[in-house]
């Protein structure tokens, strides 16, 4: 969801996707400082955590407190991930603005990851939609079903398009406000991005798909963004410093790098609302809190080109 002053929405997922993929536990104070600084740099949506049992992901055990803090930042959409309806209850109680339920289109991955079949995850989606519908209209979080491993699974390989289409349709029928495409494994390429966007829109409608979650595991992250942009998608998940890496590919970066993504979009004349210098400065907070953890990105090393004029400041 972009406002009138922006053309594209960058959704920062580092505090969730980045932190869940590394062993070090970031202290609550550092998470707060990170989120506040990134919001101050102009980022308007941040996925701040995940409501999973602390035993499974101790890195995200303080998600309720992080949400409570993030909610004090004016204009920030506070997003969280939930694995099931119980997590959604906690997310609603904490006051999250946006709830994402991942549905792995690979059933093997779904069983390995969430210990649930596709039918069971769709049931959870239905329960979550009912929980949300029971809230007063002004307190209802936005509810997204995310088609994870959509571009391929490390256990099953390629997933048939018909299966992806059926699951997208099932999520919408279950009551999701929209579905998202998620390249959990970094298998995507620009052609596959175009094909799956067309596929999902064909069954769920254009309005049901606005965002994509991409990783840069094999270096195609920004190329994949371009393909999705050409198809008209407007929301892109990214992680500051590409934090998180990839458990399946040692040495590879995690999500696409927020700094590089914002630079590319601004250079193309697309307003992100983000100040690139202030965004890059946020890396210090993350680096100090996670000593030894690699941060990725080209813009922070190379700096802005001489005479660079970002789209966002031209509009100001
Ligand atoms: Zn991810």
User: Model pTM greater than 0.85?
Assistant: yes
* Total count of domains within the chain: 1
Tell how far the Cα of 21 is from the centroid of ligand 1, in angstroms: 9
Tell how far the Cα of 10 is from the centroid of ligand 1, in angstroms: 14
- Distance between CA atoms of residues 51 and 84, nearest Å: 9
Does 99 have pLDDT greater than 70?
yes
Largest CA distance in the chain: 54
Tell how far the Cα of 55 is from the centroid of ligand 1, in angstroms: 20
Please identify every residue whose CB atom is under 5 Å from ligand 1, which is an ion.
17
105-153 pLDDT, tens digit each: 999 999 988 899 999 999 999 999 999 999 999 999 999 999 999 999 9
266-296 pLDDT, tens digit each: 999 999 999 999 999 999 999 999 999 999 9
Does 174 have pLDDT greater than 70?
yes
Q: How confident is the model at residue 316, as a pLDDT?
A: 47
- CA geometry: angle 44, 49, 55, nearest 5 deg: 175
Tell how far the Cα of 256 is from the centroid of ligand 1, in angstroms: 9
Does 2 have pLDDT greater than 80?
no
Nearest C-alpha neighbor of 122 from the set 163, 90, 63: 163
Residue 1 lies in a domain: no
Tell how far the Cα of 137 is from the centroid of ligand 1, in angstroms: 30
List active site positions: 246
Q: How confident is the model at residue 113, as a pLDDT?
A: 80
Provide the percentage of residues in the chain whose pLDDT is more than 70.
95
Residue 167 lies in a domain: yes
Q: How confident is the model at residue 104, as a pLDDT?
A: 95
Confidence tier at 247 by pLDDT (50, 70, 90): low
Residue 94 lies in a domain: yes
Q: How confident is the model at residue 102, as a pLDDT?
A: 96
Does 252 have pLDDT greater than 90?
no
Nearest C-alpha neighbor of 110 from the set 155, 151, 80, 172: 155
Confidence tier at 245 by pLDDT (50, 70, 90): low
Confidence tier at 214 by pLDDT (50, 70, 90): very high
Residue 198 lies in a domain: yes
Residue 3 lies in a domain: no
Does 315 have pLDDT greater than 90?
no
Residue 199 lies in a domain: yes
Tell how far the Cα of 253 is from the centroid of ligand 1, in angstroms: 11
Residue 125 lies in a domain: yes
Residue 201 lies in a domain: yes
The domain of 55 spans 9-315
The CATH number linked to 271 is 3.20.20.70
Tell how far the Cα of 269 is from the centroid of ligand 1, in angstroms: 27
Tell how far the Cα of 187 is from the centroid of ligand 1, in angstroms: 12
Confidence tier at 314 by pLDDT (50, 70, 90): low
């Amino acid at each position: 969801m972009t406002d009138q002053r922006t053309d594209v929405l960058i959704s920062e997922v580092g505090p969730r996707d980045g932190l869940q993929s590394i062993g070090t536990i970031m202290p609550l104070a550092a998470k707060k400082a990170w989120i506040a600084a990134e919001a101050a740099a102009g980022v308007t949506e941040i996925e701040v955590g995940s409501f999973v049992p602390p035993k499974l992901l101790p890195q995200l055990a303080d998600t309720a407190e992080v949400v409570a803090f993030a909610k004090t930042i004016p204009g920030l959409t506070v997003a969280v991930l939930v694995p099931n309806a119980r997590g959604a209850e906690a997310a609603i109680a904490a006051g999250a603005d946006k709830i994402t339920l991942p549905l792995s289109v690979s059933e093997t991955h779904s069983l390995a990851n969430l210990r649930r079949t596709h039918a069971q995850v769709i049931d959870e989606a239905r329960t979550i939609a009912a929980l949300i519908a029971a809230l007063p209209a002004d307190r209802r979080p936005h509810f997204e079903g995310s088609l994870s491993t959509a571009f391929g699974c490390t256990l099953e390989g390629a997933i048939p398009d018909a299966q992806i289409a059926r699951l997208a349709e099932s999520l919408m029928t279950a009551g999701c406000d929209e579905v998202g495409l998620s390249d959990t494994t970094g298998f995507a390429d620009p052609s596959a991005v175009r094909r799956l966007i067309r596929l999902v829109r064909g069954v769920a409608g254009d309005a049901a798909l606005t965002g994509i979650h991409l990783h840069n595991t094999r270096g195609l992250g920004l190329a994949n963004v371009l393909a999705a942009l050409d198809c008209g998608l407007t929301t892109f998940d990214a992680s500051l410093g590409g934090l998180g890496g990839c458990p399946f590919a040692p040495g590879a970066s995690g999500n696409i790098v927020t700094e590089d993504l914002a630079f590319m979009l601004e250079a193309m004349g697309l307003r992100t609302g983000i100040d690139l210098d202030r965004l890059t400065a946020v890396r210090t907070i993350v680096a100090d809190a996670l000593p030894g953890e690699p941060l990725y990105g080209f813009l922070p090393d190379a700096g802005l080109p001489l005479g660079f004029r970002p789209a966002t400041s031209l509009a100001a």
